[in-house]
Amino acid sequence: MNLIKNCNDQKLNTSIIYNLYNEKMQYSLTPYCELIKSDHYKCIISKVSFSKGNQVYLAQLNNQNMDGEISHIINLYNKRRMPFSWWVGPLSRPKNLGAYLLSHGFKFSRSYPCLACDLKNINDNFPKPMNVEIKLVQDDESMKRWSKTILLGFNGKASQRQIDLRYKIESSIGYKEETNRYRYLGYLNGEAVGTSMLTLNSGVAGIHGVSTIPQERGKCIGTSMSLFSLKEARKKSYYVGILKATKMGKNMYKKIGFKKYCHIDVYNWN
């Protein structure tokens, strides 16, 4: 079934948001993070200083519980002395939740457009970088290289402590097929230069963690990593690809065939 053509935007938005949420939720399967669920929100709190493990999702608040729930969540993180971010998207309630967060002292961080595409009709007419090989990460040694490369790709630098922590958390989730979490590492002349990750859940294929180390940008490596992940999802009988786009990658994804369906606003508590 072509999900994009055969359902309304609300159903697709739900699949997008839950895929993004479930990707982060997997961190709670490790010894380093825990998942806290209530009838009104879901949040992940890390036991170590790991920003991706300190986030609030899927808040469904109302006027009766609004201020109390927001204050309660702030206290949860304050007790751990952890900064955190609150993700506000199309499933969040009330619609003006962001304004309430600002009134409680949160700072608006950024807005991510959430995109989707039909995997049967992706455009792969892009220059193919020479001598680039993309491999599935299946062992600890490759995971160490993936962890270093993704941090360099997004931040331009990475301490050994950051690399070790990312490696420990990702390797704790595991490499087995049933995790539906596939990490890919791109090599240029044998050196690790790019990353991507594919998560299969909520009926869609989520593309995450697409990065290229700074010195190798402009060679279509990130595009190749994205297309490789999308084609792998298609082989596994998925028909819709989704992602949240950065400013750097948004135009490239539109050329592949992605269209915007919703957006997520991120608010930080420091």
pLDDT higher than threshold 90 for residue 65: no
Please state, in angstroms and rounded to a whole number, the distance separating the CA atoms of residues 125 and 227: 10
Please say whether the beta carbons of 86 and 215 come within 8 A. no
* pLDDT higher than threshold 60 for residue 172: yes
Is pLDDT of 39 > 50?
A: yes
- Domain 118-263 falls in which CATH fold? Aminopeptidase (3.40.630)
pLDDT digits (tens, 9 = 90+) for 110-167: 999 999 999 999 999 999 999 999 999 999 999 999 999 999 999 999 999 999 999 9
The answer to whether the bond into 31 is cis (omega within 30° of 0) is no
pTM: 0.94
**pLDDT above 90 (res 37):** yes
Query: Which pLDDT belongs to residue 8?
Result: 62
What is the pLDDT at residue 229? 98
The whole-number pLDDT of residue 64 equals 86
| % of the chain with per-residue pLDDT over 70 | 97
Look at residue 7 in the predicted model and tell me its pLDDT: 52
Which two three-digit tokens encode residue 270? 């420091």
CATH 3.40.630.30 region(s) of the chain? 118-263
Beta strands 55-57 and 42-46 are: antiparallel
What is the model's pLDDT at position 9?
82
User: In the chain, what percentage of residues exceed pLDDT 90?
Assistant: 92
What's residue 122's pLDDT? Answer: 96
**For residue 1, pLDDT beyond 50:** no
Is the pLDDT assigned to residue 4 strictly greater than 70?
Answer: no
Q: How far apart are CA 185 and CA 211, in angstroms?
A: 10
What integer pLDDT is reported at residue 249 of this predicted model?
A: 85
For position 238, what pLDDT does the model report? Answer: 97
Strand order in the sheet with 55-57: 33-37, 42-46, 55-57, 84-88, 259-269, 107-118, 240-244, 204-212, 191-201, 181-188, 132-136
- Is 90 exceeded by the pLDDT of residue 203? yes
Q: Lowest-pLDDT range, 2-16, 111-125, 250-264?
A: 2-16
Mean pLDDT over the full length of the chain = 94
Q: What is the pLDDT of residues 73-108, one digit of tens each?
A: 999 999 999 999 999 999 999 999 999 999 999 999
CA nearest neighbour of 144 among 182, 183, 180, 113:
183
